[in-house]
A and B are shown apart, each in its own frame.
Chain A
Amino acid sequence: MKNKMNFSGEHLAYLKKQKRKKILVISLRWIILAAVLGLWELLTFLKVADPFITSSPSRVIKTLGSLYASGELFRHVGITLGETLAGFFIAVILGYSIALVLWSSQTVRAVAEPYIVVLNSLPKIALGPLIIIWIGTGYTAIIFMTVIVAIILCIMNTLAGFLAVDPTKLTLMKAMGASRRATLAKLVIPASLPALMNTLKVAVGLAWIGSIMGEYIVSRAGLGYLIVYGGQVMKLDLVMTATFILCVLAGCMYGVIALIEKIVVKQF
């Protein structure tokens, strides 16, 4: 007889094995990070690699410290983060709205398709000069760049989510006499939530690409600016430090969205 409260020895062994596997994966992740950083530090310390060219973890920390001390750190981080978030939200909200319009009419969809395909394939950086001339060199230009980099994907992914709604459920709504609006509110939007979450995840990455690319072209401050400036004056420490901060920020933003997804998509 099986006892509901107590697991069998076999099951306990299974659970233990699963747990051990998880610990192994997590520790390996940290070990790899530590090994890369350690080796990097060691090679520059032993002068095998020239820290002027490769920088080093200790020099990155030092640069981080001096940026912080001068108050520059949060200014640059704040500017880039602000541009990225603004671009991200505009792209997602505008992209979602456009996808709704496209969903509502097959004709509009057919008309818009070639434009979307071309805009999707176009390397947005080609628009750099136009953006500078039309919008100027302020934050707006960078936010605009972020939006155009991220929005096409937002449109295509959310639209695909809307169109993937189970046809049986659509027939059901139709048979109940549901209006287009009710179908949207009660079926299409909730059913496509997982697709929206996936879109957000990809859009985060694209928003960072957009904002840094924008800063490469026009900026006077921000992490992208630090990278370009650092490269021009051969301050590789600055380049590495800014890149490191980007990694942390992008990781955090992805983490936040993954968390939101976990909460929102629980029912699916």
Chain B
Amino acid sequence: MLEFKNISYSYHTKTGETAAVSGLSFKIEKGQFASVIGPSGCGKSTILSMAAGLITPSSGEIVKGSGEAGYMLQRDALFEWRTVEQNIFLPLEIKKRNTPEMREKALALAKKYGLGEFLKKSPSQLSGGMRQRAALIRTLAAEPEILLLDEPFSALDYQTRLEVCDDVQAIIKSEKKTALLVTHDISEAIALSDKVIVLSPRPAHVIAEHPVSFANNPKSRRNDSRFAEMFEVLRTELGI
């Protein structure tokens, strides 16, 4: 689980101070897939950086579970000089948990999700979708308690994107991980999440939370009539 309690954060630059986040509170239950949407530049990525512990809030409290956070970024950031397999082992090496058991688990995960035949290949030999999948397996290899997804599909073309985001969501769900996705794509948020959190323009705070419970997978959700209704609601809230 992850809880933000009345969080504020300000950027400091030479020209002044910018309040990026102000009085932000929300909670994600264990196993929940939550999305945060908001107007662009509203400080969405800042929220993930705080959740990952990369930056410290100016005020407020972040309550986290005991486990670590795994971060998935806008681009896959696979290392070209390593094979797919070595890329997947990277977090194990960094966290000094590079044991045979952990490697075995990571490999099993990779094989389970169709990367088996690509393990010895270089990332450049993989398609965009496969690369993002490898990046996800790399994130999962260290067995994080919560996944932080920073618009991980935004660099993909539309068709690949639909495919990959459904794919990634399915993997996260079947591994029973908690996830927090930041996106500017309303339909992506509705299709993937158990809960959509809508943010205000900067300084960001929560203006609405919507549980999504109709249909149980992204594809059937997109085809459901309630999808369009919800889209309209969120669109209005975002003021687009």
Contacts and interface: CB of A to CB of B under 8 A. Distances in A.
Contacts of A191: 79, 81
Interface in B9-63: 52, 54
A268 B81 contact: yes
Given A171-B54, A267-B122, A176 B95 contact: yes
Top 10 nearest A-B pairs by Cβ distance?
A175-B71, A176-B94, A168-B77, A267-B81, A178-B94, A172-B77, A169-B77, A190-B81, A175-B52, A168-B75
A175 B77 contact: no
B93 interface: yes
Contacts of A173: 94
A262 interface: no
B73 A168 contact: yes
B95 A177 contact: yes
A168 B142 CA distance: 19
Nearest to A173: B94
Given A182-B93, A191-B81, 4 more contacts: A168-B73, A172-B73, A175-B148, A186-B94
A125 interface: no
Interface of B: 52, 54, 68-71, 73-75, 77, 79-81, 90-91, 93-95, 122, 142, 148
Nearest to A166: B77
A268 B148 CA distance: 29
29 contacts: A166-B75, A166-B77, A168-B75, A168-B77, A169-B77, A171-B54, A171-B77, A172-B73, A172-B77, A173-B94, A175-B70, A175-B148, A176-B71, A176-B90, A176-B91, A176-B94, A177-B68, A178-B94, A182-B94, A186-B90, A186-B94, A187-B79, A190-B79, A190-B81, A191-B81, A193-B81, A267-B80, A267-B122, A268-B81
Contacts of A166: 75, 77
A29 to B, nearest CB: 32
Q: How large is the interface on A (under 10, 10 to 19, 20 to 34, 35 or more residues)?
A: 10 to 19
A168 B80 CA distance: 14
A230 to B, nearest CB: 48
A174 interface: yes
Interface string A144-175: 00000000000000000000001011011111
B124 to A, nearest CB: 9
Contacts of A176: 71, 90-91, 94-95, 142
A268 B80 contact: yes
Contact of B54 (A175, A186, A187, A193): A175
Contacts of B79: 169, 186-187, 190-191
